[in-house]
Amino acid sequence: AVVSTQSGHYGRDRSKSLICVPMNTKGVSVHRKIKKMGMHSSDTAEITMENVRVPLENLIGEEGKGFQQQMNQFQNERIYAAAGALPAMDRAIQETIAYTSQRQAFGKSILDNQYVHYRLAELQTEVECLRALLNQCVEQHVAGEDITPQATMLKLKSGRLVREVTDSCLQFWGGMGYSDDVIISRLYRDTRLMSIGGGADEVMLNVICKYMGIDPSSRS
| Enzyme catalytic residues | 77
Give the DSSP letter string of 110-125.
GGGSHHHHHHHHHHHH
Taking the C-alpha atoms of residue 186 and residue 181, their distance in angstroms, rounded to an integer, is 9
Which is it for the CA torsion 174, 176, 180, 186, positive or negative? negative
Taking the C-alpha atoms of residue 44 and residue 23, their distance in angstroms, rounded to an integer, is 14
Closest by alpha carbon to 161, among 50, 86, 75, 214? 86
Q: What are the distances in angstroms from CA 218 to CA 25, 139, 199, 208, 214? A: 44, 29, 20, 11, 7
Strand partners, 6: 16
Question: Is the CB of residue 97 less than 8 Å from the CB of residue 119?
Answer: no
Q: Specify burial of residue 6 (Cβ count, 10 A radius: 0-12, 13-18, 19+).
A: exposed
156 CB contacts (<8 Å, ≥6 apart)? Answer: 201, 204, 205, 208
